[in-house]
Structure formats: structure tokens, C-alpha cells
Structure 1
């Protein structure tokens, strides 16, 4: 979400993006942040920075001060679009840093899942198999015995086939699904940048499972997926995720991120998490989103609401 191509995609979806880089004395890029803003008539808008800021260890304090100053100027300049009362950041950190001080408040909602499951692709395939839960390992081998086939593509022609399975799954499991146009913009933008692929698993000539993978840095992220109810006994979803891990590992990625996980039976992610856990891995919890308020703008908004 802090890549140039992701920002291009969000602009197609109506967001304004503002891209800031932090450079050292040799003019080398060492950090930065992409701010996102969705213009609305409301004066209580927020500037978003998902998976950000990215700060160099040596200049964390100076870096956040520069970015906060830029965000404050941006909030004022955005008055014509409704303005902004706060900046919501969500650095992908496991521990709260010193620069995240009392000026920040824990956000009521995260921009991204703060808890996820990582598979360490630096381990050998035999180690990854050994760390899977027995049921997961059995199901994977079962899919191999059935001869489930997998393949990956970044061709636009794959998008409708992916969406059909995604939408079918959303209807069956009753979760809100993004519209088809969202995936057209997302896939076409990231395909062109070499940042995404769609993976398919098929059996007996029929496509049964589809997943959307995003590649950035050392990480391969499983972002969306869908499956048919047909031939579930051949365990195609296990074959596909294992093939995706092998592919990401071969391409030099160090982490396979299942993007969202919870052991809480009351959490919306729980039913998906039971499947993800079959692959072993490590549960990772980041610090979540935090809000920085522009108090002058917040005061103006409160006053206008009271009039």
C-alpha cells in the first residue's frame, strides 16, 4: 500500500495521493510515506497512511516530524475538498516506537489487519512441510494424489474467472465483496507493474480455486481468494497455496503473508484462520493504526457542527 503502483490504483478508485520521500545527504531515498485522501463534503475527513510511515532507523524522530509537518500543510490545503481533521498512520511494526508518543491516539479502526499469519519462506520446503499441522499436511498430499493442477498468470483474461469464484464465495459465506470494477483496476494496475498474479487450481479440467497474490519487497501477500463447492474432496485450496509458496520462494520472497488472522471465535476472520493455521507459520501482531489530530481543524469542525 506504500508502493507507487498501489497509489496509482487507488487514484483510479477516486483517492487523491500525495507521495513524500525522505532522502539522506547523498540524495538516496531512505524512507517516506504515501498519504491517501478521499474527498468528501464532510469536514471530518481523514488523511490515511496505510503501512506507513517507513522511517530510517537513524532518523526516525526527524523523519516523523517532517512528515507530520507536511501532513498538517496538506490538511489545510485540502480545505477545498472538505479538509482533514486527522492523520491515520499504520506502521508495520511489532513494537510501539518511541516516536509514536502521546500526540498519537490508538485508532478505533485499523486500515489493515493488525494480526496476520506469516510463513517463513527462508526455510526449506521440507521444514515448511514439517511445520504444517498434520491435517494440513495430509490434505496437501491428498490433493497431490488426486492430481490437482495449479497455474499462475498476470493476463487480464484471468480477472473474470477469478471474480466469478470470489463472488460465489462471498455470497455463500455472506461477506461483503468488492465490485468487479475494483478488481479490474487493481489487477490491471499491478499486473502492468509485475506486482501481482492470479493463481488457479483445477481438477478434471474445471477451475475450482482462485487466489490473488501481491508481490512487494520481500513479501508475497495472499490478498483475495475464492473457491467452488465442487470437488472439495480433492483439496484444491491446499495445492494452490502450497504452489504459491513454492513460487514466491523461488522468486526470492522471504514471507508468505496470509493477510488477516484471528484465534477469536467471535472475529470475522476466525473461519478463514482455521484453514490458514494448517500451514503452520507464525502469528504476527503489529501495533495497528494510530491517529494524529490537527486540533485547529478539529476545533473548527466541532464549532461548525454546533452552529
Structure 2
């Protein structure tokens, strides 16, 4: 079957994703409002019967002084990735975006390749022979994902390599950690937490840590902790205006799209985190904490409250987002992997991000620029 691609309205886009169990929070119309440096468009795939059968949020970033764009579909598009005629889905997208002035198209197929249970991750960390998570035997493998990667290469797509040794690329994470919630009771989920997590949650409760939902007016309190976290973990923080825009844009589309949680103790905010929801998928998005009074374990308390609320919302999965794939003891991100794996879920490898150079000269220039950042 051949498909036609066209621009669609935000309403059509939102209706399509709302009818699905879930799509990435980066593929809903409001995500374009979070990114003012990009121009956002909603794209629709139309089949031979005139039906809307796929959508995509594309972000267009202009090159300085040129009317040429990097076209980016983060964790998308929302199409049938298992389709035998995948080329019929992707070819019209490339043609449409080339006509719009794109010199490169970047996308992130939401396709799982492998999973490692929390026990398998723990064993991999302890194994001196395993340098990366991919070196360890996976608990589950998705054979069709390997075939899909081969098909993309044959079409001319190129996998984006990680931007650093720790496995974190400039785009979206290829490795994440998720806790399955579907069909499970809260008691079962709590039993799956490791002993340290259960002990820390109990310690926070006994100490009197209170986790509450915040509002727009609490974003500065979150931001103060976030800046402290950035200094401690050596990353560049986003401005407060980014989170204020994120709150306003996402909640205008759906009141539950974004939540803010704060862990209070003796009149002090010790930790804060944002939570995003689309359908049956819940993400822990941004986290922040202070070094003060860490002994009362506010981070475990806030995560457990968010997992409980995700369960109450009917979520099928609680997603901790990115993890490192390096198992090097000298890497500070290994502690984050240990923390997330204590939740009893599983590490997940996605297919990663893929580029299609429509103009090879400009694409190479972009690659050179990104490698020097």
C-alpha cells in the first residue's frame, strides 16, 4: 500500500495519539511548544482510503543564514514499525521534508531491541569481563528489531553513534530503565524493590518525609535544587523558563501530562521531580536533590510516591528514562544505574536514533559541528 504525507492539525494529531495506549511524550503536539528554537509541524500518513494511519511531530531547526533545516522526529514517528512495506511509510516522509528544506532527517524508532532484568544488570556490574551492558547476556531479545535495523541501513539510514563514552548521545537515550506496572498490585511492585530501596522508603516514612504534588508556583523551589544537582553532577542546567514553558504547554493539552513532586522535611524541600504521562506510559523526567539531610532518603521516597501515583493512573510502565551502558566503576553514572536497577524493573535498549542525509555536504558539516561540541 502507498501512503500520502501531509500536514495535519494539532487536533487531528492529538486525537490520533489519544486513541493509542501510548506514544512518546515527545510525539504529542504540545511538545513542539516546549521547543521554541525549533519550528514544529504535525505530519499525517494517509492511506489509499483517505484514513489517517500514522502521525509524527517533526521539529525543524534552521541553519544560521540558510533556509535549510535539520528535521527531527524524537522517539517517532508514530507509524507501524513492524510493517512489511516500511519503505512506503518512510519514503513519502523524506520527500515531504526535503521539499520543506530539510538537509538531514533524524528519527528515533520507538522499537525495543533487548531487555535485562534487574538481576541481570546486577550480575553484569559485578562481572569484571563486562565493560558495557551490551556485553552481558540479555534476558529478552526482539529478533524483528535486528531485521528492522538491517532494513533501515539498506534504505540509506545511518545509526547515530553515542556522543560520549558513557553511552549518552546528544539526542534521546538509547538505554533506559523501566518498571512494568500492568497487571501488578502495589504490594507486588513493592516486593520487587531491592532491600536497600525498601529500607530507605521505610526510613523516610519514619523520619517524617512528606511527598506532595506542587504547582507552577513551586517550580522555582524545584529549580534551586536542580541547579545544585547540576553543579554536583557536572552538567549544564536548563533555564527556569524552560520548565515554566514545559508546565504551561503540556498541562494546557492535558492536566495530567506533567506533574511536579516535592519531598518536604522539617520545613525544607530536599528533593523534587517532574513526571510526564501519555496514555499508559509514565516517565520520571527531571530530578533534583540537595546534599543536605540525605540520610532521611528523600529520593527513594519521591520515586515510590510517583510509582504509586502512576499505578493509580492505570499506567502500564514507569519509565526512569536514560541510563549509562558503561559498567566502568570509575564512571559516576554507574551509581545512577545501580539506583534505578534497585527498583526491580529492567534495563531496555531501543533501536537508537537514525539519520538520513538529504544533502551530504551539509550533513557532514553538522556531524563535524556536533563532534566538536
For the criterion TM > 0.5, the same-fold answer is: yes
- CA shift at 1:170, angstroms? 0.9
Distance 1:66 1:187, change over 3 A: same
Superposition pairs for residues 91-110 of structure 1, below 5 Å? 91-94=109-112, 95-96=145-146, 97=148, 99-102=151-154, 103-109=156-162, 110=169
Moved over 3 A (4+): 23-29, 42-45, 57-61, 266-269, 299-303
- CA shift at 1:299, angstroms? 4.7
Which residue in 2 is equivalent to 1:133? 194
Which has the larger displacement, 39-48 or 278-287? 39-48
Partner Cα distance (1:5, 1:112) in 2: 18
Partner Cα distance (2:226, 2:362) in 1: 44
| 8 Å Cα contact 1:219-1:255 kept in structure 2 | yes
Instruction: Give the secondary-structure state (helix, strand or coil) at the position aligned to 2:187.
Output: helix
- TM-score of the two chains, using structure 1 as the length reference: 0.86
Which residue in 2 is equivalent to 1:120? 180
Instruction: Give the secondary-structure state (helix, strand or coil) at the position aligned to 1:258.
Output: strand
- CA shift at 1:298, angstroms? 2.5
Which residue in 2 is equivalent to 1:181? 241
Structural RMSD (CA): 2.3
Superposition pairs for residues 158-307 of structure 1, below 5 Å? 158-193=218-253, 194=255, 195-264=257-326, 265=328, 269-294=333-358, 297-299=359-361
Partner Cα distance (1:302, 1:283) in 2: 33
Partner Cα distance (2:237, 2:364) in 1: 34
- CA shift at 1:29, angstroms? 3.4
Distance 1:149 1:66, change over 3 A: same
Aligned length: 290
Partner Cα distance (2:325, 2:54) in 1: 34
- CA shift at 1:70, angstroms? 1.3
Which has the larger displacement, 176-185 or 36-45? 36-45
Partner Cα distance (1:179, 1:88) in 2: 25
Query: 1:136-172, CA deviations, whole angstroms, 9 ceiling, x for partnerless residues?
Result: 111112112222211113x210211111111111112
- TM-score of the two chains, using structure 2 as the length reference: 0.72
Unaligned 5+ segments in structure 2 are: 1-25, 113-144, 163-168, 366-373
Which residue in 1 is equivalent to 2:60? 37
